Amino acid sequence: MQKIVECVPNFSEGKDLKIINHIFDAAKSIKSVRVFELEYNTSHNRCLFTIVGSPDDVLNSVFEAIKKATELIDMNKHQGEHPRIGATDVVPFVPVSDITMKECVKLSKKLGEKIATELKIPVFLYEASATKPENRNLANVRKGEYERLKIKMNKPDYGSNKIHPTAGAIVIGARKYLIAYNVNLDTTDVNVAKQIAKKIREKDGGLKAVKALGFKVDGFAQISMNLIDYEVTNFDMAYREIEKETKKLGVGIINSEIYGMIPLESLVKTVKNTFKVDSFKSEQILEKKLWE
């Protein structure tokens, strides 16, 4: 069986479609991988996409995208709602088929060393790749964001203790499947989103395996979440918890959205739990819909 890995690089550009497409096309220049699910948002000023293929091919693809982003994005001019420390902000590797987390960690370190050597960008390792316990959590690495790094930067895992003049720094690592999930509220008051985000996220006593922040996106309040273990807290569970909190505060939900790919098991779990369909039937329903 062929080793298959997924990579979901996030870049600090969500407004200039020309730049976004240049970065996307650079990743696609490695023909042996699949590059898809391009998503971008002007309020977050951020884009991301998914690369899937063999480990070395995926590494080469994401490196080409990072190189292009380094050429085109100037962090000194960047403003956006989403936390970030670099032109290429975060690069996670996710094991998909016949590959272990340990191998993905090795891959992330190989990329980190290549970036520091060839592009002169400092690299921090996070999640399973972290060399420091405090750096397992991405939020800790990005604390203070790009602006703090310009003043003072802790020793990175690769590269010098000085940020790249325009590209900043990069966070790279290996992790399990993560579901990026947003819930958009029918209020312009961003404090409502921040209040609910604090209520539901794990670090403040909320749902396990949930990271959440409140933003103002396209004029409305948004709760933006990373569900780091869908087997612990799936997106339907997060939605129901947010719905409870919105009712208490007298606001409604406009819609919700998933960014990027999610495991089939997550959808099966949602159908089973929310609609009370048994596991076997839910798998049959979803597989039928996927092949139609």
pLDDT of residue 267: 81
| Total-model pTM | 0.84
Supply the pLDDT for residue 276.
60
SS3 132: coil
Domain 4-174 sits in CATH 3.30.990.10: yes
Torsion 145-147-150-151 (CA) sign: negative
- The pLDDT assigned to 286 comes to 47
| 82 carries an active-site annotation | yes
Q: List every span in the chain annotated with CATH 3.30.70.670.
A: 179-261
The pLDDT assigned to 288 comes to 46
Q: Which residues of the chain are under the pLDDT cut of 70?
A: 274-292
- State residue 150's pLDDT score: 87
pLDDT at 153: 84
Predicted local confidence at residue 283, as pLDDT? 53
**52-90 in b/e burial notation, b at 16+ Cβ within 10 A?**
bbebebbbbbbbbbbbbbbebbebeebebbbbbbbbbbb
**pLDDT score, position 205:** 96
179-261 CATH: 3.30.70.670
Given this model, what pLDDT does residue 289 score? 46
| Residue of 44, 78, 82, 164 marked active site | 82
- Distances, alpha carbon 210 to alpha carbons 69, 152, 173, 175, 263, in Å: 29, 29, 19, 15, 17
CB within 8 A of 137, min separation 6: which ones? 126
Which residues of the chain are in CATH 3.30.990.10 domains?
4-174
What are the CB-based long-range contacts (under 8 Å, 24+) for 207-212?
207/233, 207/237, 207/238, 207/241, 208/232, 208/233, 209/233, 210/238, 211/139
What is the reported pLDDT for 291?
40
For residue 288, count other CB atoms closer than 10 A to its CB: 9
- Give CA angle at 116 (115, 120), nearest 5°: 100
Q: State the DSSP code for 97.
A: E
Report yes or no: 66 and 49 within 8 Å, Cβ to Cβ: no
Determine the 3-state secondary structure of 174 from DSSP. strand
